[in-house]
A and B are shown apart, each in its own frame.
Chain A
């Protein structure tokens, strides 16, 4: 074990190098490294190709899980889905009363926060989504030559909120008794659904034909690059979650570090996804910001290793460098 004085003497001795120098061509080494990696990429691509999963679409969801599609659409209409109550950045949750301190502070309990850091609320509604308008009413309004449908939408929009909710609740309850006919149509028992039955029936037909995928993405941009709305709509239903679960991509399946198929994934994210597997994070509504805070502290620890007593002494206690430079140390002894 070196004493403090010996260590200081060693540091002083190496402060100015008095030994010989050897040439080192970093350009040559970099070129070799890039060439080897490029060859490796091409060879691995030839042998293993790359993940090639088909995209999940609303059309596919409406065709394979029509009842779940209708349940989700009814939820979007009356604002009870996960997207509808998510809060920022998609919307302001209507119940904006905090119970954290027992006093109103303008921040609801559904936004993630840590102590006084209310990141989710501070960043605000950057990507507004009105689930009833964006996922149901606006796409239905794009369907031409359907006067009965347009009249149904007008009737729904003109009705008081309590009446709208009564229709969607009755419709959602009836979906639990829905039957699929031989033609694939959804048959419901008769009830007081108002215009909701016609609206959502047409939405299902539209979705099955593939029109809803485009209608939800409708924007003024020439090239569509923002798929947030379609993804949020899909995520409110069961189709996306079922696919993700089958591919081991859910958050509680260490999904952050997995890839589709049998391809290796992002192994280096193991520590991020690890926290989501254990309590209290696995059951916390604040898990994201909690994990972010832990990883920030750990990353700072990594950066500050040279200044942390004990940790910075590990190379002295476990002299692995002596194995790497064994010829040098052998020649000294």
Chain B
């Protein structure tokens, strides 16, 4: 069965000096940083007041 997005084709690469990274790898790194930032910045679940009370 064919995939909805076919990735079995030659990749694009970003070259900078001796660094050579595929665009898909760069996207994964960007997503990892985004998840890391979200994990720090998003509030804990159960609401603001509840967690503040429990933390004390």
> Interface size on B (CB < 8 Å)?
35
**Nearest chain B CB to A250's CB is how many angstroms away?**
10
Q: Is B9 within 8 A of A261, CB to CB?
A: yes
Residues of A within 8 A of B51 (CB): 327
| Cα–Cα, bound, A328→B41 (Å) | 14
Which of chain B's residues has its CB closest to A246's CB? B10
Q: Is A327 within 8 A of B3, CB to CB?
A: no
Any B CB within 8 A of the CB of A248? yes
> Interface size on A (CB < 8 Å)?
35
Any B CB within 8 A of the CB of A47? yes
Q: Is A51 within 8 A of B25, CB to CB?
A: no
Query: Which positions 34-56 of chain B face chain A at CB distance < 8 Å?
Result: 40-41, 43-44, 48, 51-52, 54-56
Any B CB within 8 A of the CB of A277? yes
Specify which of A48, A247, A254 is in contact with B20 (CB 8 Å cutoff): A254
**Nearest chain B CB to A42's CB is how many angstroms away?**
13
**Nearest chain A CB to B3's CB is how many angstroms away?**
3
Which of chain A's residues has its CB closest to B1's CB? A49
| Cα–Cα, bound, A328→B43 (Å) | 12
Q: Is B13 within 8 A of A248, CB to CB?
A: yes
Query: Which positions 219-263 of chain A face chain B at CB distance < 8 Å?
Result: 246-248, 253-254, 257-263
- A248-B20, A278-B18 are known contacts. Are A263 and B7 too (CB-CB below 8 A)? yes
Which of chain B's residues has its CB closest to A23's CB? B54
Q: Chain B contact residues: over half helix, strand or loop, or mixed? A: mixed
Residues of B within 8 A of A19 (CB): 56
Q: Is B52 within 8 A of A277, CB to CB?
A: no
- A46-B4, A248-B13, A263-B7 are known contacts. Are A258 and B22 too (CB-CB below 8 A)? yes
Specify which of B8, B21, B22 is in contact with A51 (CB 8 Å cutoff): B8
Q: Is A262 within 8 A of B56, CB to CB?
A: no
Q: Is A323 within 8 A of B40, CB to CB?
A: yes
Residues of B within 8 A of A20 (CB): 54, 56
Which of chain A's residues has its CB closest to B2's CB? A49
Specify which of B9, B18, B29, B54 is in contact with A262 (CB 8 Å cutoff): B9
Q: Is A262 within 8 A of B55, CB to CB?
A: no
Which of chain A's residues has its CB closest to B43's CB? A327
Q: Is B4 within 8 A of A264, CB to CB?
A: no
Residues of A within 8 A of B28 (CB): 264, 267
**Nearest chain B CB to A94's CB is how many angstroms away?**
37
**Nearest chain A CB to B41's CB is how many angstroms away?**
7
Residues of A within 8 A of B6 (CB): 49
List 9 other contacts, CB 8 Å, given A261-B7, A328-B52. Answer: A248-B20, A248-B22, A254-B21, A262-B9, A262-B24, A263-B24, A264-B25, A265-B25, A277-B20
Residues of A at the B interface (CB closer than 8 Å) are 19-20, 22, 46-49, 51-53, 246-248, 253-254, 257-265, 267, 277-278, 320, 323-325, 327-328, 330-331
Residues of B at the A interface (CB closer than 8 Å) are 1-13, 18-25, 27-29, 32, 40-41, 43-44, 48, 51-52, 54-56
